[in-house]
Amino acid sequence: MSEVKINRLERWGIPFCDEMTDENVEYLLQMPLFSQGMIDPENFNDRLPLAGILKNDSRLMNCKEGEIIIREGEWGNSAFFLLSGSVRVVIERAQNSIPPELLGQPQRKRKSVLEILKQCFNRSPEIEQRDLASYAPQAYSENSKSSRIYLQDFNHIVDCHKTTRIDAIDFFGEQSALGRLERSATVFADGDCEILEVRWQGIRDLMNKAPWLKTQIDMRFRAYGLYSFLKNSSYFEHLSIDENATEEDHERKRSLSQHVFNHAELRTYGKYDQVDSFLSLVEHGTASNLAHEPLIAREGDYVEGIYIIRSGIARVSHRYNNGHRTISYLTPGHAFGVAEVVESWRDGKPTHLHHSLRAVGYVTVVFIPSAIFELAVLEELFDRQKNKTTYSGLKGSNTPQNTTHLDNGLMEFLVERRFVNGSATMVIDLDRCTRCDDCVRACAATHDQNPRFLRQGPVHDKYMIANACMHCADPVCMIQCPTGAIHRNSLAGEVIVNDLTCIGCGACANNCPYDAIRMVQIRDQNGNLIYPTQTTKRQADGTQVVRKLTPLDPEWQPIEKATKCDLCSDQITGPACQNACPHDALVRLDLGSYETAAQWFKR
C-alpha cells in the first residue's frame, strides 16, 4: 500500500474569507477603530500580528438598507464591528418580533429519500475515506460569496417593530460568539454600511491584546446581556405592554420594568474559556467537586433575592451528615430562592435559604433583590387578589416544577459527571438492550460505514451514558479549536466538525470530558494513509518557515481528523441510532431539562 501526500493545514491555512487581501488589511488599519488607539497594532507581537488576524480571521461586508446581518435564534460564531453607517436591532420580546418568514430563514439541507436509500447500498470500501480533491486550497475558505437576504417593505417594518439604532464605531454579536449562545436579536442594515465580521477565534486574540476591547465587551455583557434576558424572562412577562390596557397601566408597567432593569445584576461564576477545571471536576468525586464549584448562595444565609439562571448549569444541594446531597440542578430560565422570598414576604420577617447553589462549570445568573421582586412580581400578581398564600403561578423555585423526581443516586451520577450539560445525550436502558448493535450499524450506514459513537460508557444501575457527542449546552470542546472547525450549526445548534478546516490538532478531543470525539487517520479512495508534505512554523519575528518533510522526520505522521456524532443533522428522520433500536432501549435525551429527563427515567 503506497503513501499519499497533501499539505498539512495550519492555524491560518484556512482564512475566514478568501477575498481578504493585503490591500483590505491596509485599508482597515487606517480606520479609526485601529488608528486611534482603541485596538493598537503596537500591542500585538510578530507571532500574532494584528494584520494577520484581520487577514485570516475576518471579512469585510458592504451592506445595503434592509439587508439582514444576523437573525434571532440562530447560533453565532462571529462578532461584527460597524465601521461606517448604522444598523438596527429588534428589541421586542421574541413572540412580538419580526415574523420568521420575513427574515429569509435558510432551510436546513437534508438528504432526499433517494439519497437515503443510496447510502444503504453504497458502501465505502475503506474506513475514513476522503476525497483529496476536497482539500484543494480553494475549498478551505469558510466565507466566500453568499446570497444576501433583504427585508421587504423596510419602512413598514421599522415603523411597526420596536428597534434601536447602532452607529459607527460600535460592535455587536459578541455575546453569542463568546458565550456559545443563540443570537438574542435580529440585526439589519439601516442604510449603506460597512461592517467587519470577525470569527470568535480572532475576537479572543483581539481581547487578549486590546484592553479597550476587553473592557467594552465586559461592560456590554452586563448591560445588553441583562436587558435581552429580562425582556424575555417568564418571571416578568406580566410587565409586557398590552395594547388593550389603559395608558395608566402602560406607564406603571414601563416604570416597573425600568425599576427591575436598574436594580438587577448580571453575575458570572467560573471562566467561560477554562477547560482544565471542567475536566478535573468530571474525574473527581462529590467532595472535590463541591470544593471547586463556585458558591453562588449558601444554605442558612438570609435570603437577599432570587437568582435566575441565564446560562450554564447550577447544582442545588443541602447539608446531609458531614457532606452535601444534590437535590436538583437548574438550567437556564429556572430560579433559585423564589420560595424563600415569597415566604419572607408572606410572613413579614427574614427567612434563611433552605439550600445551597453552586455553579457547575461556567454559569451566569441574573440576581433580583428581594424588594424589587416583591414590588414588581409578587405584589403585581397576588396582592390585588388579597392572596399571599400561593405562588403557583411562578415558574420554578429551587427545584423545577414537576410531579416526577429523579432518585438521589441517579441525580448525583448525572450531576457529578456533568451529563446534565448534554442536550442530546445517548442514554441506553441496559435492561431493554439486547446488544444487537443495530444502533451502531445504523450510525455506520449514515456515515460512509464509519460509526460515530462507541456503545460503551459510564453505568449507573441499569442506565448507560454512551460515548457519543451530547451536543452540550456549553460545549467546552470548542474553546481551544484554533480554526473554528468544531462549531455549532447556525440553524439548530448541533455541535459539528468541518472536516475541511480541521487541522488535526486534537484540542477538541482532549477537552471533551465525555470521550466523545475520536481522532482518526484518514485514507484516500484506494485505502492509502495520507501524509503531510511539509510543515510550517511561525518564527518570533513573524516570518513563516516552510520545511519539506521526509519519512525520517518526527512530524511524518498520518494526517488525522476529528470525528464525532453530528446527530444525523442531514437525515430527514433524525438520529439513526435511536430510530434503529428495536426495543426502545436507546434515546437521545436532553438531560438539561429536568422534567424531560425525569419522565423518561421513570417510564
**Alpha helix positions (H), 446-523:** 507-511
Please name the residue that has the C-alpha cell 494584528. Answer: 50
pLDDT of 142 over the 60 cut: no
Residue type for position 602? K
Find the mean pLDDT for residues 3-20.
Answer: 74
pLDDT of 388 over the 50 cut: no
Give the per-residue pLDDT at 303.
94
Question: What is the pLDDT confidence band of residue 100, given thresholds at 50, 70 and 90?
Answer: low
Find the mean pLDDT for residues 356-381.
Answer: 89
- Between 105 and 365, name the one with better pLDDT: 365
Residue type for position 139? A
pLDDT of 584 over the 90 cut: yes
Mean pLDDT for the chain? 82
Which of the listed ranges 44-48, 384-388, 389-393, 583-587 does the model predict with the highest average pLDDT?
Answer: 583-587
Please name the residue that has the C-alpha cell 474553546. Answer: 479
Bridge partners (DSSP) of residue 197 are 59, 80
- Report the share of the chain in percent with pLDDT over 70: 82
Question: What is the pLDDT confidence band of residue 384, given thresholds at 50, 70 and 90?
Answer: very low
* Residue 255 dihedral angles phi and psi, to the nearest 5°: -65, -45
Indicate the SS3 state at residue 286: helix
pLDDT of 396 over the 50 cut: no
pLDDT of 214 over the 60 cut: yes
Fold of 240-401: Jelly Rolls (2.60.120)
pLDDT of 386 over the 50 cut: no
Determine the Cα–Cα distance for residues 524 and 159; give it in Å rounded to an integer.
57
Determine the Cα–Cα distance for residues 120 and 116; give it in Å rounded to an integer.
7
Pairing of strands 560-563, 518-521: antiparallel
Find the mean pLDDT for residues 123-136.
Answer: 72
Give the per-residue pLDDT at 38.
87
* Residue 97 dihedral angles phi and psi, to the nearest 5°: -75, -175
Cα–Cα nearest to 341, from 388, 402, 290? 388
List the helix and strand counts (H, then E) for the chain: 19, 26
Residue type for position 434? T
Determine the Cα–Cα distance for residues 486 and 368; give it in Å rounded to an integer.
36
Q: Which residues 6+ apart lie within 8 Å of 554 measured at CB?
A: none
What would the pLDDT profile of 190-213 be if each residue is shown by its tens digit? Answer: 999 999 999 988 988 898 888 898
pLDDT of 394 over the 80 cut: no
- Give the CA angle between residues 315, 320, 324 to the nearest 5°: 30
Residue 537 · residue 547 · CB < 8 Å: yes
Determine the Cα–Cα distance for residues 510 and 184; give it in Å rounded to an integer.
31
Find the mean pLDDT for residues 109-116.
Answer: 69
What would the pLDDT profile of 341-361 be if each residue is shown by its tens digit? Answer: 999 998 889 899 999 999 987
Question: What is the pLDDT confidence band of residue 392, given thresholds at 50, 70 and 90?
Answer: very low
Pairing of strands 4-6, 530-532: parallel
pLDDT of 412 over the 80 cut: yes
What would the pLDDT profile of 227-268 be if each residue is shown by its tens digit? Answer: 778 877 888 888 876 667 788 888 888 888 888 988 998 888
pLDDT of 592 over the 50 cut: yes
Determine the Cα–Cα distance for residues 597 and 603; give it in Å rounded to an integer.
10
The CATH 2.60.120.10 domain(s) of the chain lie at 24-136+148-230, 240-401
- Cβ burial of 113 (10 Å; 0-12, 13-18, 19+) is exposed
Find the mean pLDDT for residues 391-420.
Answer: 69
What would the pLDDT profile of 258-310 be if each residue is shown by its tens digit? Answer: 889 889 988 888 876 655 555 555 565 555 556 778 899 999 999 999 999 98
Please name the residue that has the C-alpha cell 476536497. Answer: 134
E strands along 430-529, which residues? 459-460, 463-465, 486-488, 495-497, 518-521
Q: Which residues 6+ apart lie within 8 Å of 103 measured at CB?
A: 68, 71, 149, 151, 186
Fold of 24-136+148-230: Jelly Rolls (2.60.120)
DSSP-assigned letters across all residues of 510-535: HH-TTS--EEEE-B-TTS-BEEESEE
Lowest mean pLDDT of 25-29, 282-286, 451-455, 543-547, name the range. 282-286
pLDDT of 77 over the 60 cut: yes
Cα–Cα nearest to 433, from 568, 566, 580? 580
Give the per-residue pLDDT at 86.
94
Determine the Cα–Cα distance for residues 225 and 266; give it in Å rounded to an integer.
8
Lowest mean pLDDT of 286-295, 385-394, 490-499, name the range. 385-394
Residue 511 · residue 477 · CB < 8 Å: yes
Determine the Cα–Cα distance for residues 314 and 326; give it in Å rounded to an integer.
11
Residue type for position 487? H
- Report the share of the chain in percent with pLDDT over 90: 32
